[in-house]
Amino acid sequence: MPKLTYYGHSAFRIRDNQHTILVDPFLTGNPLCPIKPDEVTACDYILLTHGHGDHFGDTAELAQRLGSTVIATHELAVWCNEQGLKAHGMAVGGAYDFPFGRVKAITALHGTGGATLPDGKELPSNSPVGFLITWGKTKSIYHAGDTGLFSDMKLVCENGPLDVALIPIGDNYTMGVDDAARAAEWVEANLYIPMHYNTFDVIKTDPLEFAFKVEKLGRRCKVMKPGEEIEV
């Protein structure tokens, strides 16, 4: 069974006894993250929902040190290749089978600009995405990325309920609690986990309010503490 660890903001680790992946590894500069990049000792793949600094985060350092393959939209993947990193490019609607399972790039409504990194390098403009991860053909995890609410979210679970849906709730840059609860109504999953909140003042919100709204739908929500790990 895969295990899911939350590192604050939108950063997660998913692992089993064979594979470890990170999603949006914003560790340095993330006030909620309980670990430092040099404490990460294994990472086979890094999934990037988009190229903003609070999502690209420590990707370059981790991928170079650990030999991780970056999975991202085509433009970001090309840039990573140019920096000497291993990368696999995708586009919205596309899916690909990796050793740990299948990844499908899902639409996300967000900005498309690239970040300027601390070393002055600029990431290219890129399409924001979410990811539907089918781990080992049995467990399904939807990381919605940074997104506003859109009705096609209903299609993410068209093949049946997902195991876990990771939904942004912080407002201002993504959905707020009310829209996130609507997304939870549209995306059928066995468990909903809020993300992308309380990292900065502008996205402060109460995750228990989201949990209450989800549970009113008769569904289950888990507010994860940074550093907490659960079995999917």
* pTM attached to this predicted model: 0.97
Stretch 185-190: mean pLDDT: 96
pLDDT attached to residue 71: 98
Residue-wise pLDDT tens digits, 117-137: 777 878 888 899 999 999 998
| Domain positions in the chain | 3-231
Over residues 131-158, the pLDDT tens digits come to 999 999 889 999 999 999 999 999 999 8
Residues 17-66 have pLDDT tens digits of 999 999 999 999 999 999 999 999 999 999 999 999 999 999 999 999 99
Under CATH, domain 3-231 is a member of which superfamily? Ribonuclease Z/Hydroxyacylglutathione hydrolase-like (3.60.15.10)
Q: How far apart are CA 219 and CA 192, in angstroms?
A: 8
